[in-house]
Amino acid sequence: MGVTASQPIYTVEDIPGKGKGLIATKDIAKGTRIISEKPIVSISHSAGDIEQLHLSMHQQVNSLREAEKREFLSMTNIYPHENSTEDWFGIVRTNALPMGPNLDAGGVFLHACRINHACDSNATNFWNENINQLTIHAIRDIRRGEEITISYLSSLRNRRARQDELRQNFKFTCSCRLCSLPPDQSRDNDAKLDRIHEIDRIIEQGGIEALVSAPRRMLGYVEEQIQLWRDMSPNEVGLGRAYPDAFQIAIANGDVARARIFAEKVVALYLTTLGDDSPDVSQYKALFRDPASHEYYGMSMRWKTSMEEIPLELHPQVFEDWLWMRREESPEGRLTDLRDLATFPSFSDLPDQSHCESDYFDCSDVATRRPARHWCFLAEIQDVLGFSPLHVVVKDVNGVVLPLLVYTGPTGDQFSASKIRRGYTLAILYAVRHTTIFRKPWIHLKKPKMVKRPADLSLITGQVAELK
């Protein structure tokens, strides 16, 4: 478990306005295991009805040693109560920390439950299934005399969402450093947290399907999340999901080289927050040794690499460019590689109408966004269904066949039957993807001249065919 405190490195003290709390009695290095302990009382949500819960809790409290029972009864209860059973149950509800195989139980811990909350906490709690104990790890260096804090929040959201959650569940108003930022900084922070949360939602909604249908976009989202986080915090320990997400994207597309690097980053992160005896560290150490053992390996082999392809001795910045598949700025006149999926994205990798993706645009406002670079959607026409608007069935670079509407507004009749034919290639610069659950996907063209008709593209047509 790395560095473990051999003797208590904190004291329990009265903290003005917060009841009891833990104060560091010496400097504590990031990654140190501050506490590892078993619960004195635990209840499981799946244990049965409320009467069974009360009974189980009664038995546990009554079998505590006198000193433990005194400690238990001195803990805060924020719930109204009329008898000792309700009081004890209120103490458990107020203080319990998540535990158990699926975190579906709550435990009262003599030491860990004395730790107060901070939204930007300096420590984190984790139920370690291997040792059946709750651990508290320092997630940044803590100075002697500093209060040790953990977060009671389900996830780190904007200030208002945090305050609402804490008031509703714990009946207090948080005044941590993050909640006390000056208005300007607080707004800036909230915007970043909102975007991080939005990306979490996009990745979650995309699910396994998006890992292979739009991996480049998904990887771009993860990278954006990490950069937003770095702007706010000097360490990455608040980003428990980003590197595992990046690992899944890489390995689902056969990219063993990048997956191994992402697994290594997960191990480093989890060693700090969970310790090397945690199941999660063992899991990612095994994935670091053999990334292809992951169940998603081979869903697509679009980015196929081997471990030997991890670049060595690169400048850190160049290595990061490789890792995140950042585009190279090609000199003027250099031939474009048609297999470059950043420049010639598939339909699902096109930027979405409702977002302003930094991979494509240079501002954050959808209404005024401008392309930050060049990209072109290429697709082979499989069938022509109509001309006003242009309605075709196309096959994109991934071989995905989809019906497509190309709107050109009042000038939509510019397409003629001789130029739009089966087997020809449609090429649309700066294409933006519109999709709703009610309609077919479509691309909206403001300037019809952006459409290069097949006559201009016989060469490209031939090369695109090779991509399939």
Question: Measured from the CB atom, is 179 or 376 closer to Zn ion?
Answer: 179
Per-position DSSP letters for 85-109, written without gaps between them: HHHHHHHHHHH-EEESTTS-EEEE-
Angstrom distance (rounded) from CA 6 to CA 15? 25
Shortest CB 134 distance to Zn ion, Å? 22
Question: Measured from the CB atom, is 176 or 292 closer to Zn ion?
Answer: 176
Binning the chain into helix, strand and coil, the percentages to the nearest 5 are 40, 20, 40
Angstrom distance (rounded) from CA 74 to CA 76? 7
Residue with tokens 């695109």: 464
Question: Measured from the CB atom, is 53 or 179 closer to Zn ion?
Answer: 179
Only segment of 116-124, 225-233, 369-377, 405-413 that touches Zn ion (CB under 5 A): 116-124
Shortest CB 118 distance to Zn ion, Å? 6
Shortest CB 60 distance to Zn ion, Å? 32
Question: Measured from the CB atom, is 119 or 394 closer to Zn ion?
Answer: 119
Strand order in the sheet with 10-15: 10-15, 19-24, 147-150, 116-117
Give the number of other Cβ atoms within 10 Å of residue 315's Cβ: 8
Using CB under 5 A, pick the residue from 41, 96, 112, 119 that binds Zn ion.
Answer: 119
Shortest CB 167 distance to Zn ion, Å? 11
Shortest CB 174 distance to Zn ion, Å? 3
Question: Measured from the CB atom, is 41 or 119 closer to Zn ion?
Answer: 119
Question: Measured from the CB atom, is 27 or 146 closer to Zn ion?
Answer: 146
Backbone phi, psi, residue 395, to 5°? -120, 125
Question: Measured from the CB atom, is 176 or 310 closer to Zn ion?
Answer: 176
Only segment of 117-125, 252-260, 315-323, 445-453 that touches Zn ion (CB under 5 A): 117-125
**Contact criterion met (CB below 8 Å) for 265 and 223:** no
Shortest CB 238 distance to Zn ion, Å? 13
Question: Measured from the CB atom, is 171 or 327 closer to Zn ion?
Answer: 171
Shortest CB 18 distance to Zn ion, Å? 12
Angstrom distance (rounded) from CA 466 to CA 468? 5
Beta-carbon contacts of residue 98 (< 8 Å; ≥ 6 apart): 105, 106, 125, 127
Shortest CB 179 distance to Zn ion, Å? 3
User: Segment 152-191, which members bind Zn ion (CB under 5 A)?
Assistant: 174, 176, 179
Helix and strand numbers (H, E) in the chain are 11, 17
**Cα radius of gyration (the chain):** 28
Binding string, 70-109, against Zn ion, x = CB under 5 A? Answer: ----------------------------------------
Angstrom distance (rounded) from CA 207 to CA 253? 14
User: Segment 323-342, which members bind Zn ion (CB under 5 A)?
Assistant: none
Interface residues with Zn ion (CB under 5 A) are: 119, 174, 176, 179
